[in-house]
Structure 1
């Protein structure tokens, strides 16, 4: 188990600031990027340095109104799917939007430098990383600020600007590409970049290494419904990836703070891509009014929700007499800029891609490819690593058990593709497994969108707020500062 090195984080902060200054300068004033080392340095910052976890999680059906008096406006607005008015605080929609485009600018700067050097083969690893990083940030933007991908409407649905060149203006104006155009650009970057990425890094988990690149590609192709590509990408995992999934059982011997560090440790085999994000997600996950309510968490994490009817191995804690509960996933490092005044910036190591998600993507693809028996074996293995007292002799997963536990409800799950009743039950089971594994991490919101799941948010002394199917609020509103430069707003 490795803790993040505070010195590394301080250097990261200094470098991010200097790189942002570099990108805001006119081209004639910039230092020439003409060596592999300089290109690699730029690519360290080609990943969003802000977090989307708080935004996505609070919009999902993982959260409830606990009724606490104190709350942050941004959390309440996310909970009610309202236009967010806070623009100058971390964990806000505008901050994450900017972080993604800032990361894209770094990736594009690296790609331009590689091209100007003649695209030599010795720069293929940097080129591959830059392409994957550019694709990732655009993917996150279109996933949050556009409606779900549907090939029947994607050519007319509004996407986000796909930027493929470095900034040449401090206030550049961009038009929105369609969702289909954005997906085509993402796929082109993945296709070109995937064969080029490497594992040859001092800190490979903070870069698009080979496994991280394949895991991201599997997420993308799962959304597109290209099941065979998901299966092919995950073949190295196999149907029983022993030692490669998260070892929740080992957390029982740790304190809550030790678990926070272990969850995003670079030596955890499941963790494929990490980022040091400027975020207060550790505080939100444990103390926010609109999060996992102590009165309601058993609806998601009680033993009755397990296919084996056993308790989950997940450990939960509370700071406020069980009004809210949380899983210790985030360890905050506070970097002081003025120790006397107590001023600084909080940073949290976050897991962006993992073998846990990668394996669930594989299981889902097998279901949709009609390989139910194989999917049953894989899902049983996955759930066995999460169940207290799992007995391989008696705790057997069967098609009948999955169908009984997750019966088909008319118009509940409505992706753009057709599913048989059996497939629907299995997809619900996998989505519910993903929901629990990635609690607090926002992953549930993306399943809510792609499966078009209705969400009901109850509030004290207010009518229930319903997010209906195909509701316009499923796409975040474009940040105000972006719309003032000409980017078209989403309909409301």
Structure 2
């Protein structure tokens, strides 16, 4: 639908943004209209209503290297070079810059919105002023966090002030030079933005695609979990679920449907998707046997998430998750994820009854009602944590969380692992804590933008 706006962005911003994505009607310019800058609360609303920019096109470089799937050598050889290299963790220069640029386009729109709102009277429309300001801070934080999860090392308090983060673009000036902040500065900014979002976002958001206060709480729970701050992660997960506790009953879904899970279901706090998955698409990615076999027979997720592979007997493909397709990853925030954050962090900080309540609430909603639900009753913190992490992997399959989870769990001797790929006679390994977990930047960024490459 055509966005009705009286103004367009300045020429150099248009040139920059048009290089980042396909046609965007907001950026179309009529030949007889002069360029002017957006100025009003309505202008800010139109910017943030661009679903294709704010909610789509987030990077999957790290996820291409996760251990939840594999592809045949023939499929691998048919992929684009950058995707092939990402699959086997080849530390080679790659050219594709779009997966870096697209999140920064969302950051640009967020910064433009914050700049507009800094110059208007909030009382003109206090409701939309607050909503837009909260959304801008939320999406800026979300983009920063996704890029950090892909391109930075795992957060460690004793090294974060020296480790490289990402460029923190905080103003809409397109000519400002990009420099990499430290990882500590990066997470500080993510937390600051999400706390601003909590302050301004509404309790209830009726428009699909927009975050509410619960989504911002969920974002904070994610960020603190990545940082290993389990007390804060628990508190924000609990705050999120106080507002939005809903879960789908998988008994109401039809495993025979091509896409059993609907895109805007009651669990979705904010819908966000990746670029095209390529090698990870539903026709290519064969689910790792140890993952597929970890689901109990009465666990409905097994039939909802997967289908038999018609090309290789005895193997299974991903049917498609919360996007209603298997060609993009759902990367948004859901209540099911937050139940898992609460369960894990509660276990880690000694709140065993809360951990059991959270994990059983989630798991029961995924279990067949034809049998008695086998509740988890483990009281030993070590064994319970292991169980919760296993449930996390089973629940969040192809939801954009595994790469980040592998990275952070590799800091814990109890859970670190070496990932391996087999292509014909060649085996490729990614040891725990390897520097390649900070996915290298595109050579275009390094050469043209002068941004430092990740250390090797």
TM range (shorter): 0.7 to 0.9
From 362, 366, 369, the counterpart of 2:349: 369
- Indicate the residue corresponding to 2:320 in structure 1: 328
Contact kept, 8 Å, 1:104 with 1:133, in 2: the verdict is yes
2:399 corresponds, among 441, 444, 448, to: 441
- Specify the alignment match of 1:355 in structure 2: 335
What TM-score results when the alignment is normalised by the length of structure 2? 0.81
Quick check: 1:147 aligned with 2:153?
yes
364, 369, 378: which one pairs with 1:399? 378
Cα pair distance change 1:447/1:37, threshold 3 Å: same
Corresponding residue for residue 91 of structure 1: none
Q: Deviations over 1:230-267 (max 9, x none)?
A: 3333335669987x2233332326521x42xx332x2x
- Is there any run of 5+ residues in structure 1 with no aligned partner, and where? 1-6, 23-28, 89-93, 334-346, 401-421
Partner residue of 2:428 out of 462, 465, 469: 465
SS of 2:332's partner is strand
Q: Against the structure 1 CA distance between its residues 20 and 490, is the aligned structure 2 distance closer, same or farther, given a 3 Å change threshold?
A: farther
Q: Give the Cα–Cα distance (whole angstroms) in 2 for the partners of residues 359 and 391 of structure 1.
A: 23
TM-score of the aligned structures, taking structure 1 as reference length: 0.76
* Alignment deviations for residues 97-151 of structure 1 (CA, whole Å, 9 cap, x no partner): 1111111000000101111225558222211111111111111111110001111
Moved more, 453-462 or 369-378: 453-462
Looking at structure 2, the residues matched to 364 and 332 of structure 1 have their Cα atoms a distance apart, in angstroms, of 29
Structure 1 consecutive aligned stretches of length 4 or more whose deviation exceeds 6 Å: 13-16, 239-242
| RMSD across aligned positions (CA) | 3.3
Alignment of 1:223-372 (within 5 A): 223-235=226-238, 244-252=246-254, 254-256=256-258, 258-259=259-260, 262-264=261-263, 266=264, 268-275=265-272, 278-280=275-277, 284-288=280-284, 291-293=285-287, 296-297=288-289, 299-302=290-293, 305-306=294-295, 310-315=298-303, 316-317=306-307, 318-322=309-313, 324-329=316-321, 330-331=323-324, 350=330, 352-372=332-352
1:211 aligns with 2:175: no
1:385 CA displacement: 2.2
The answer to whether the aligner puts 1:425 opposite 2:383 as a matched pair is: yes
Structure 1: how far apart are the matches of 2:266 and 2:78? 36
Is the CA contact 1:60–1:442 (under 8 Å) kept in the aligned structure 2? no
Query: Unpaired segments of 5 or more residues in structure 2?
Result: 4-17, 411-415
- Give the corresponding residue for 1:47: 54
Whether the 8 Å contact between 1:277 and 1:348 is mirrored in structure 2 is yes
Question: For residues 399 and 146 of structure 1, what CA distance do their matches in structure 2 show?
Answer: 35
